[in-house]
Amino acid sequence: MSEKEWGGNPTPLKVMDLTLRDGTQSLFATRMRTEDMIPVAERLDEAGFWAAEVWGGATFDSMSRFLGEDPWERPRTLRKYCKNTPFSMLLRGQNLVGYRNYADDVAKEFVDLSCEAGINVFRTFDALNDYRNFEAVVERIKANGQHFQGTICYSLTERRMGGEVFNLEYYLDKARQLEEMGADSICVKDMAGIIAPYDAYTLIKALKERCKAPIHLHSHYTSGMASMSMLKAAEAGVDIIDCCLAPFALRTSHPAVEPIIVALEGTPRDTGLDLKLMLEMGGELEKIAPKYRDYWMPNKMSPIDTGVLVHQVPGGMISNLVSQLKEAKALHRLPEVYKEVAFTRAELGTPPLVTPTSQIVGVQAVLNVLFGKYKLVTNEVKGLAYGLYGQTPTEVYPEVRKKVLKGYARGQEPITCRPADILEPELEEAKARVKDIPGADKFDVMTAAIYDITGTQFVKIKRGVEPMPAAMKGKSLEDIKEEDAALEECLKQLKAKKAGK
């Protein structure tokens, strides 16, 4: 390939490492502890990644609810070991690190505190790609002099890019909106792992032709296409791609960085990353990986989910559908639910399926199958139809809207304004929640603002008002050795028993 090719971008391909956030979120339900991240963090500066994603997404919820760790401490701790690599977080727009829109006072304060805790790159997304939900946070990201990465959630209605809704023009228009908002870079976020290699090529090439801001591609390995798509994106001139170190890559996570280093070696897009160092860092992860083996997939041979190529339902959503159906003792109806997801999604305005819309559509699809169309309607679906999450890519079907908004407390007529405009300030209420907890500071107030129940509970534990539940303490490598010894003993006895028969 000549230098003119590579999408007119014959510069080294930059890589963001996602091992410590999306990698662990995808593979271990975000249960990785900060102490286990330190051996990798120590070497991140040597590695020379464009940035390392270490925070945001589900980390805040998981750390405060399950791990008994203060989420605010993670970037501070990692920064002690990694002085120069920019730290990135995944910010859910006005949803911050939660599952609903927060009021502007909370949103703004959250960004300020995140900057104080050491976050440099704010990968900001909105489930509906409604960028009015960026306004409050972007103002603060910019005011703090940090990097605003504007994100477009990649979604499809057909097998491949195109059709009436999510076609090339849609994505180019979203990129234009992001540039107008002052995006320092633009990310295509393929959360379900459904961007096909040649669509990645077409999309990235068109974005590179239109945009001044660097273009970044994020894709999950779920369907098995992501490494191919990254390579085609590199050929199309993408500036930055997302990868993980091999132990935390592939499956529902991301492409592994190691093969990509070799694939591009000697080309104008050579990453310049040190393969040997990557292997050493991977070795560190393998050492602690047994602590998280409860999250490994038993009883499944295929590391990829080829079903996604057909039904396009993202991995996290599938596990929710399955558990909801199991609870209703109706797991056999899963194929019907897959079909219903497509209908429900169209009826509710064709939202991209990502937190929180994936849950909203998924739960309603199950209810539609079990009880009949919109006989039971969740509050979240009412909110979505009312406009509380923003403008949906297509109009909510009028007859569905009428049905779900019947008797809705906020009103029957949907709003058209920026959703946060109708929210009352929330920060004072959060302050009141923690005012009797000795030592509670502004970071604790924010934790309680984001999660009124579990967050406030965590602040009590953190400040010693309540004891830490044993379940939060997790397994050590010693525990794993004990488990293994006990397991071996059991197997021995079983074999002896069988031999005796």
> CB of residue 354 vs Co ion: minimum separation in angstroms?
9
> CB of residue 372 vs Co ion: minimum separation in angstroms?
34
> CA 275, CA 287: separation in Å to the nearest integer?
19
E-assigned strand segments in 310-446? none
Do the beta carbons of residue 404 and residue 384 sit within 8 Å? no
> CB of residue 129 vs Co ion: minimum separation in angstroms?
15
Provide the 3-class DSSP secondary structure of residue 56.
Answer: strand
Phi and psi dihedrals of 14, rounded to 5? -90, 150
Asked if 22 is part of the footprint of Co ion (rule: CB under 5 A), the reply reads yes
> CA 430, CA 96: separation in Å to the nearest integer?
15
Do the beta carbons of residue 362 and residue 317 sit within 8 Å? yes
Of the candidate spans 22-30, 273-281, 399-407, 470-478, the one that interacts with Co ion by CB under 5 A turns out to be: 22-30
Is the Cα dihedral 232, 55, 221, 369 positive or negative? Answer: negative
Asked if 242 is part of the footprint of Co ion (rule: CB under 5 A), the reply reads no
Of the candidate spans 19-27, 99-107, 119-127, 486-494, the one that interacts with Co ion by CB under 5 A turns out to be: 19-27
Residue nearest to Co ion (CB): 22
Of the candidate spans 21-29, 124-132, 138-146, 298-306, the one that interacts with Co ion by CB under 5 A turns out to be: 21-29
Do the beta carbons of residue 355 and residue 192 sit within 8 Å? no
| Contact characters 392-431, Co ion, x per CB under 5 A | ----------------------------------------
**Element at 495 (helix H, strand E):** helix 477-500
Strand 185-190 relative to strand 121-124, pairing: unpaired
Tell me whether residue 255 or residue 474 sits nearer to Co ion (CB atom). Answer: 255
Tell me whether residue 146 or residue 252 sits nearer to Co ion (CB atom). Answer: 252
Tell me whether residue 56 or residue 282 sits nearer to Co ion (CB atom). Answer: 56
Tell me whether residue 22 or residue 426 sits nearer to Co ion (CB atom). Answer: 22
Tell me whether residue 16 or residue 231 sits nearer to Co ion (CB atom). Answer: 16
Provide the 3-class DSSP secondary structure of residue 418.
Answer: coil
Tell me whether residue 22 or residue 239 sits nearer to Co ion (CB atom). Answer: 22
Do the beta carbons of residue 130 and residue 391 sit within 8 Å? yes
Do the beta carbons of residue 95 and residue 101 sit within 8 Å? yes
> CB of residue 32 vs Co ion: minimum separation in angstroms?
15
Tell me whether residue 189 or residue 345 sits nearer to Co ion (CB atom). Answer: 189
Of the candidate spans 16-24, 320-328, 337-345, 426-434, the one that interacts with Co ion by CB under 5 A turns out to be: 16-24
Residues at the site binding Co ion, with contacts judged by CB under 5 A: 22
